[in-house]
Amino acid sequence: MAANAWVVYLILGAAAVAAVARAARVFVRIDVHAFCTQVVRLIEADNVGRALKLCRIDVRAPILAICAAGLEAFERDRAANLAEREGGEAAERWKAQLARGRILAVFAVVAPLAIAVMVAVSAPTGSPQTAILVASACIAGLGATALMMERTAVVAALAGWRHQVLPALQALAERGGKPE
């Protein structure tokens, strides 16, 4: 293993970078329910422009991107059906982005696990190589956790959009844009 150690470290480093990059993106956490409640309050006051500003604070969070797309469409035409379509399309773009990133995510999980298995099979008990084993398992866990959290964030964002924000937009459209 000593002769090929640099290859192992290189693969482990690349997997760590992939896992950390994915995790950093996911850890931009927003309370979807609280955010949607605030957006609904603004919509009920017919302050769609301010709700849209709120959605544009950070593009890395799925709920912000989905709401922004729908609110922009509503602001243009004051049509809830157009807002629904645009918000749905934004959610589909997030799902597609997750699918494109799946190869990197799988690498961030599988490469460290493969290294961990290789080290476990070849390293004597109590050797310094056990640190590689532990690091590999931790990186694989981080990569898997980030992937699951990313999927959960998109699902929660879509649910918040469909069940909180969209009904408020539909009610506003039915009232003819008059605040409650």
Phi and psi, residue 178, nearest 5°: -90, 135
pLDDT at 104: 64
pLDDT at 64: 83
Per the domain annotation, does 13 fall within a domain? Answer: no
Average pLDDT over residues 127-147: 70
Per the domain annotation, does 14 fall within a domain? Answer: no
Residue 44, Cα to own-chain centre: how many angstroms? 28
Average pLDDT over residues 134-156: 72
150-169 pLDDT tens trace? 777 777 887 888 888 888 88
Per the domain annotation, does 25 fall within a domain? Answer: no
Per the domain annotation, does 10 fall within a domain? Answer: no
- Residues 6 or more apart whose CB falls under 8 angstroms from that of 143 comprise 15, 18, 19, 22, 23, 105, 108, 109, 112
Residue numbers of the domain that contains 106: 30-174
Bigger pLDDT: 5 or 52?
A: 52
Per the domain annotation, does 157 fall within a domain? Answer: yes
29-74 pLDDT tens trace? 677 888 889 999 998 888 888 998 988 887 667 888 888 888 888 8
Looking at the 3D structure of the chain, how many domains does it have?
Answer: 1
- Is the pLDDT confidence value at 27 over 60? no
Per the domain annotation, does 22 fall within a domain? Answer: no
Per the domain annotation, does 23 fall within a domain? Answer: no
DSSP string, 124-169: PTTSTHHHHHHHHHHHHHHHHHHHHHHHHHHHHHHHHIIIIIHHHH
Report yes or no on whether pTM surpasses 0.75. no
Per the domain annotation, does 81 fall within a domain? Answer: yes
Q: What is the rounded distance in angstroms from the CA atom of residue 83 to the CA atom of residue 17?
A: 37
76-125 pLDDT tens trace? 777 777 777 888 788 887 777 776 666 666 666 777 777 777 666 666 66
